């Protein structure tokens, strides 16, 4: 009996489990530390600044608190009204971007994938070039355009560029290429318009790709920092991602609890749409 394949499979499983534990360690550490008292957290992490000077010192990264306390969550959710206000600021920024880009990208992807017109592929290539440009490259022209439109210190300065980003078009177009064109031809024979074909045939088949797009957009825009710092000067209008840095400077304990509250929507969304997310990424041909 050849046991080599079994050993290789066991090694791969062990490495994957080990990798999973390494990736989950920061999340687990954040959650467990959020239930510690401020005094216990200071005892564990005050040595951070001294470790570099003294090689014999170690940071005591504890997973289980000595005493479970809800003090940090009370401080965040009850004693810090600004936290909840900026939480909803994040929601008011992210939801319109996701809804708008899903609508615009799905229609544009249908045109690039299923409509036949001259210069389609060349136009799509030019459209994709914007994906190769980092935010820093387009920062100055975006700033000038937004300033000329009078949108500075307004949510629209972030929402409008987010709606018309190229990534959603690319992802959905790659998925639509797997839908047979014969469906569209059959619908045309029955007299259906392109809008009817898109709404009744294409859109129901795009649920996995749309789920993947929603998750990726939510994670990307929920964590954005540069855009709010540049385009929204009023701290009262800034999202939670900017506010978290200020919490971290004030209290490590509050930072742990705030981080748990902050990442909970992302975890719930991913767990709910995990199957659609994986299917959408696989069929879109996008590799992480």
Question: Which pLDDT tens digit goes with each residue over 56-66?
Answer: 555 566 677 77
Q: How many C-beta atoms surround the C-beta of residue 1 within 10 A?
A: 3
The average pLDDT across 245-261 equals 76
pLDDT at 177: 87
Given a cut of 70, whether residue 51 has pLDDT beyond it is no
pLDDT in tens, 103-112: 999 999 999 9
pLDDT in tens, 209-224: 888 899 889 988 998 8
The two three-digit tokens of residue 167, written as one number: 């990534």
280 closest CA partner among 105, 159, 18, 133? 105
Question: Are 37 and 27 contacting, i.e. CB atoms less than 8 angstroms apart?
Answer: no
pLDDT at 65: 77
Q: How many C-beta atoms surround the C-beta of residue 64 within 10 A?
A: 8
Strand spans (E) along the chain: none
Question: Are 285 and 113 contacting, i.e. CB atoms less than 8 angstroms apart?
Answer: no
With bands split at pLDDT 50, 70 and 90, how would you rate the model's confidence at 288? very low
Q: Is the pTM of this model over 0.75?
A: yes
With bands split at pLDDT 50, 70 and 90, how would you rate the model's confidence at 280? low
């Amino acid at each position: 009996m050849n046991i080599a394949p079994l050993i290789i499979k066991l090694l791969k499983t062990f490495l994957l489990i080990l990798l999973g534990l390494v990736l989950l360690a920061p999340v687990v550490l954040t959650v467990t530390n959020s239930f510690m008292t401020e005094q216990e957290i200071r005892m564990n992490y005050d040595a951070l600044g001294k470790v570099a000077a003294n090689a014999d010192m170690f940071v005591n990264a504890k997973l289980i608190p000595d005493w479970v306390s809800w003090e940090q969550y009370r401080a965040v959710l009850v004693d810090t009204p600004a936290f909840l206000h900026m939480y909803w600021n994040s929601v008011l920024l992210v939801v319109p971007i996701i809804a708008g880009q899903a609508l615009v990208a799905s229609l544009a992807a249908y045109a690039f994938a299923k409509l036949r017109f001259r210069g389609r592929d060349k136009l799509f290539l030019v459209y994709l070039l914007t994906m190769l440009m980092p935010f820093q490259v387009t920062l100055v022209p975006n700033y000038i355009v937004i300033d000329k439109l009078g949108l500075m210190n307004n949510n629209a300065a972030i929402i409008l560029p987010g709606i018309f980003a190229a990534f959603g078009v690319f992802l959905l177009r790659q998925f639509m290429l797997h839908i047979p064109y014969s469906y569209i031809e059959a619908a045309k024979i029955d007299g259906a318009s392109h809008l009817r074909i898109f709404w009744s045939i294409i859109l129901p088949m795009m649920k996995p790709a749309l789920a993947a797009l929603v998750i990726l957009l939510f994670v990307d825009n929920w964590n954005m920092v540069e855009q709010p710092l540049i385009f929204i000067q009023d701290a009262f209008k800034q999202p939670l991602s900017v506010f978290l840095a200020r919490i971290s400077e004030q209290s490590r304990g509050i930072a742990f609890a705030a981080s748990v509250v902050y990442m909970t929507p992302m975890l719930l969304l991913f767990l709910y749409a995990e199957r659609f997310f994986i299917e959408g990424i696989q069929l879109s041909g996008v590799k992480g």
